[in-house]
Amino acid sequence: MLGWKLLFHIGNFSRLEVWSRQPKADSSLDGRGEWGSVFARIYRHEKDMATQIVRREEEVATLIAAGQALTDGVVLLDENYQIIFCNTTAEMQLGLVIHSDRGQPIINLVRQPEFVDYLQAGDFSRPLTMRFERNEDRVLSIHVLPYSDSRRLMQVKDVTQTDRLDRMRRDFVANVSHELRTPLTVLSGFLETLQEFEVDRDERSRYLALMSEQSSRMLSIVQDLLTLSSIESAPPPDTEPVDMISLLDKLRRDAEALSAGRHSIVVESDGQGDLRGSEPELVSAFTNLVANAVRYTPAGGTIRLSWKAGLQGAEFAVQDTGIGIDSKHIPRLTERFYRVDRGRSRDAGGTGLGLAIVKHSLSRHQAQLEIKSTPGVGSRFAAKFPASRVAGIQ
């Protein structure tokens, strides 16, 4: 009897021993008598553990998925700045590959000196902003946050766009100040001369003429700036049709007035179709193109205004036989205050803002500005409108 009992225990024990080498929460652990309830408890415990592990794995997977969904880069580092985890955004931003780079010190992989210095200095009260050496077009802002004692979470933001806007704003303020300072310096110089010295009548009227020229120049700059800012802050333009026949007529009269008989002005249009949009913005854009054609075409030249509308869209163009533009300048012409020849633009009454106004008004009408030019031969500026902006075409 005792022998049988002993055999029974040894048998169950050896099954437990075998099972424990590769424990599985399944019915492979089966026993009878008091061993049955022991095995059942072990089995339940194993099953709970397995469920908990699955749940934990799911939680970790959800956390990783959340980390992957972040638009900012995230890198988790241990106390030696070795990579524990990084999301796909950080992989792209910093050129990391998590599968092979896990466990590597990040400064062995991102070796840019300011980054290495920033990590080694260990003062993370401020983020590090750096232009990334491996991709010069990108500007990254790196923030390191300590967590869980000695670990660090590194957050990487791509601030390229904000940096560009900041730079544009700074350049713009510098440009405006520079543009206004020049005429103001001339004005105040003449004022001082008139106040301090006796000048004869002729001299005085010459000074006054120059002063009036400078103040008109400042006025033009301020007017163009106001036009730009009102276009920028205006609601999207109307879709009411603007009568192109009377608009072309007005542009022709403006061109003739500006040219004062120095050029021949030609209008080419079959009178078909109108534009849907804001009349003041279209007038402002087209007048700037016409004024430039007059400004940069020597006397005796021809300025051709053309309008063509069809089912596919419409085109308003101004073609001149003027000085033309070297192709290297063309991509930059619509930048604020960009001029090919500053002196020539100034002498001709330009502000350097005309084409910026044109581009802005056109883009609000979903139109493109196409510039073709040959130095010494002439230029063609064409505003191309999509079909949605054209009215009155069957």
Contact partners, residue 92, CB within 8 Å, separation at least 6: 73
Question: Where do we find the tokens 């590090």?
Answer: 128
Q: For residue 374, list its beta bridge partners.
A: 378
* Closer residue to ligand ADP in complex, CB, 277/324: 324
Give the DSSP H or E segment for 147: strand 139-147
Closest to 293 measured CA to CA, from 314, 262, 327: 262
Contacts of residue 140, defined as CB under 8 A and 6 or more positions apart, other chains included, come to 93, 129, 130, 132, 156, 157, 158, 159
Closest distance to ligand ADP from the beta carbon of 172 (Å): 14
User: Which two three-digit tokens encode residue 143?
Assistant: 């923030």
Q: How far is the CB of 377 from ligand ADP (least distance, A)?
A: 11
Min separation Cβ 376 and ligand ADP, Å: 11
3-class DSSP assignment, residue 334: coil
**Cα(52)–Cα(74) distance, integer angstroms:** 27
Calculate the CA 252 to chain-centre distance. 38
Say whether residue 379 binds ligand ADP (CB under 6 A): yes
- Which residue, 142 or 289, has its beta carbon nearer to ligand ADP? 289
C-alpha 35/C-alpha 314 separation (Å) is 91
CB of 220 vs ligand ADP, minimal distance in Å = 8
- The verdict on 176 binding ligand ADP (CB under 6 A) reads no
Q: Nearer to ligand ADP by C-beta: 73 or 352?
A: 352
Of residues 328 through 347, those in contact with ligand ADP by CB under 6 A are 333, 338-341, 345
Residue 351 found at the interface with ligand ADP (CB under 6 A): yes
Nearer to ligand ADP, 158 or 224 (CB): 224
Task: Pick the binder of ligand ADP from 221, 255, 325, 362 (CB under 6 A).
Answer: 325
Is 354 a binding residue for ligand ADP by CB under 6 A? The answer is yes
Query: Least separation, in Å, of the C-beta of 94 and ligand ADP?
Result: 40
Contact mark string toward ligand ADP, 276..315, x via CB under 6 A: ------------x---xx-xx-------------------
Closest to ligand ADP by CB, 96 or 282: 282
352, 364, 382, 385: which one binds ligand ADP (CB under 6 A): 352
Q: How far is the CB of 298 from ligand ADP (least distance, A)?
A: 11
Q: Which is nearer to ligand ADP, 179 or 274 (CB)?
A: 179
276 phi, psi to nearest 5 deg = -95, 120
Closest CB to ligand ADP among residues 87, 319? 319
Q: How far apart are CA 292 and CA 272, in angstroms?
A: 26
**Shortest distance in whole angstroms from residue 370 CB to ligand ADP:** 13
Token digits for 189?
A: 């110089």
Contacts of residue 389, Cβ cutoff 8 Å, sequence gap at least 6: 239, 275, 276, 277, 313, 314, 365, 366, 367
Per CB under 6 A, 350 contacts ligand ADP: yes
Q: How many CA atoms lie within 13 A of 304 on its CB side?
A: 14
Q: Nearer to ligand ADP by C-beta: 72 or 254? A: 254
Between 142 and 293, name the residue whose CB sits nearer to ligand ADP. 293
355 binds ligand ADP per the rule CB under 6 A: yes
Radius of gyration for the alpha carbons in the chain, expressed in angstroms and rounded: 38
Query: Facing residues of 309 across strands?
Result: 314
Q: Is 279 helix (H, G, I), strand (E, B) or coil?
A: helix
Q: What residue ranges bind ligand ADP (CB under 6 A)?
A: 288, 292-293, 295-296, 320, 322-323, 325, 333, 338-341, 345, 350-356, 379
